[in-house]
Chain A
């Protein structure tokens, strides 16, 4: 199965490098930063993977520091102001600061604590579970991995630190990555969660674009249809899975978690109604139905007759997607994914 782009993929891609500088965005103030935990890998050969900020000005400084690190330097924490002089002169200052941890890792060395930690994370994510990785920010590199079933791997150097880290990690698992302090020393707590899984019912044009964009958004995609001439690898090269059969039976075999987003784009009640029957009482994070308000109301009425409540029916986003005025299939796909991201980030109910 193909996976979305991730640090794990980046590490694998960097595997041919004997030494790699790994830059990790651990904190940020201001409005222009990437998500905490964003990474860039800089190879000895000059190869770049990923990025720690949206713009290029900070990344350039990080690359310069990474090159120095690969020469002879030690791991270090970079604090970089976003008030770049030149940007300020022309009135484009972003404001704020970012902290970037710069480590030297040996991708082929399993004894490297950071490499070992991410190998554990890879296994955890493959099981569709979450983990928190705690890494030191000063002194030698050390890492502790705490999985959602309570298992600890690695150490921060002392049992006392590991115990306190485990307590903080349980908060981080709920609230997201952050820097925290144990006995006066700073540590980076990084949450790793499985990606959103996009369950797409209907293998038409909108679905084709959805799978491409989903990959860019680091979402898994599963395309489901009853028609084998539609649901093909040729039409869906970016899909993680393509499944042909009775859609209501196929969705019943997919774990329904809050990380699942269900997108009904067949525009055919023969699939919409039975699939909604399955998901309306399942704890998925998002349900969207393609169609007009009138069509959405008709489908809801049909399901209401079967005993579904108004609260259950209100979970269905229809018309699907944010209103961006899109008409073409790619535009509709974009609006759907925008709505899913908005719901996931708490910007939309």
Chain B
């Protein structure tokens, strides 16, 4: 088994930060309309810093692993630093590139997180 696959399965079976964040002050829903992945990312942002992050999802292993890793890494980051996280960053956390047809799965949590932050900025 490759390291990439092992990481994906580990985070799918034991996802970090799964479940609702009661103290949230930013959130967004995301979906991949054809494969059916559904995710909600919820954040607590205080003084421009992400102090907590959680997610809820009915999604594939890759999407859940990506969300699990993302919510671990964004804690303590300033909102301005979130812009530096890209698909390549997530691939590095996963220790490998997802197959081309599955890139949307791994990117959905990140796109949803950015929308959550934007919703906070609008408020």
Using a CB–CB cutoff of 8 Å, the interface residues on chain A facing chain B are: 225-230, 245-249, 266, 268-271, 274-275, 302, 305
Alpha-carbon gap, A102 to B23, bound state (A): 64
| B38 x A246 contact (CB < 8 A) | yes
Query: Is B73 interfacial (CB 8 A cutoff)?
Result: no
| B33 x A228 contact (CB < 8 A) | yes
Partner of B33, one of A227, A266, A270: A227
Distance from B108 Cβ to chain A, minimum over Cβ atoms (Å): 12
Query: Is B91 interfacial (CB 8 A cutoff)?
Result: no
| A226 x B56 contact (CB < 8 A) | no
**CB closest residue in chain B, given A268:** B36
Alpha-carbon gap, A248 to B31, bound state (A): 14
| B59 x A270 contact (CB < 8 A) | yes
**CB closest residue in chain B, given A250:** B58
Name 26 A/B residue pairs within 8 A (Cβ), A-sorted.
Answer: A225-B36, A226-B31, A226-B58, A227-B31, A227-B33, A227-B35, A227-B36, A229-B33, A245-B38, A246-B29, A246-B40, A246-B57, A246-B58, A247-B38, A248-B58, A249-B56, A249-B58, A266-B36, A268-B36, A269-B60, A270-B37, A270-B58, A270-B60, A270-B63, A271-B58, A275-B58
Partner of A246, one of B34, B35, B56: B56
Query: Is B103 interfacial (CB 8 A cutoff)?
Result: no
| B34 x A227 contact (CB < 8 A) | yes
Over the window 8-36 of chain B, the binary record of Cβ atoms lying under 8 Å from chain A Cβ atoms (1 yes, 0 no) is 00000100000000000000010101111
Distance from A248 Cβ to chain B, minimum over Cβ atoms (Å): 5
A270 neighbours in B (Cβ, 8 Å): 36-37, 58-60, 63
Which 3 pairs, one residue from A and one from B, show the smallest C-beta to C-beta distance?
A: A226-B36, A226-B38, A246-B38
Alpha-carbon gap, A11 to B35, bound state (A): 45
Distance from B112 Cβ to chain A, minimum over Cβ atoms (Å): 12
* Besides A229-B34, A246-B58, A248-B58, 7 new A-B residue pairs in contact (Cβ under 8 A), listed by A number: A226-B37, A227-B33, A227-B34, A246-B38, A247-B58, A269-B60, A270-B58
B59 neighbours in A (Cβ, 8 Å): 270
Distance from B42 Cβ to chain A, minimum over Cβ atoms (Å): 13
Distance from B5 Cβ to chain A, minimum over Cβ atoms (Å): 16
**CB closest residue in chain B, given A229:** B33
| B13 x A305 contact (CB < 8 A) | yes
B35 neighbours in A (Cβ, 8 Å): 227
Alpha-carbon gap, A34 to B28, bound state (A): 53
Q: Which of A225, A268, A305 has the most CB of B within 10 A?
A: A268
Alpha-carbon gap, A245 to B31, bound state (A): 9
Alpha-carbon gap, A319 to B121, bound state (A): 49
**CB closest residue in chain B, given A201:** B58
B40 neighbours in A (Cβ, 8 Å): 246
| B36 x A274 contact (CB < 8 A) | no
Over the window 58-79 of chain B, the binary record of Cβ atoms lying under 8 Å from chain A Cβ atoms (1 yes, 0 no) is 1110010000000000000000
Q: Which of A269, A270, A302 has the most CB of B within 10 A?
A: A270
**CB closest residue in chain B, given A273:** B58
A247 neighbours in B (Cβ, 8 Å): 38, 58
Distance from B67 Cβ to chain A, minimum over Cβ atoms (Å): 12
Alpha-carbon gap, A249 to B57, bound state (A): 9
Distance from A5 Cβ to chain B, minimum over Cβ atoms (Å): 32
Alpha-carbon gap, A248 to B37, bound state (A): 12
**CB closest residue in chain B, given A246:** B38
Distance from B25 Cβ to chain A, minimum over Cβ atoms (Å): 21
B57 neighbours in A (Cβ, 8 Å): 246
Alpha-carbon gap, A270 to B63, bound state (A): 10
A227 neighbours in B (Cβ, 8 Å): 31, 33-36
**CB closest residue in chain A, given B37:** A270
Distance from A268 Cβ to chain B, minimum over Cβ atoms (Å): 7
Partner of A274, one of B31, B34, B58: B58
A226 neighbours in B (Cβ, 8 Å): 31, 36-38, 58
Alpha-carbon gap, A269 to B31, bound state (A): 16
Distance from B60 Cβ to chain A, minimum over Cβ atoms (Å): 5
Distance from A201 Cβ to chain B, minimum over Cβ atoms (Å): 10
Q: Which of A227, A246, A247, A275 has the most CB of B within 10 A?
A: A246
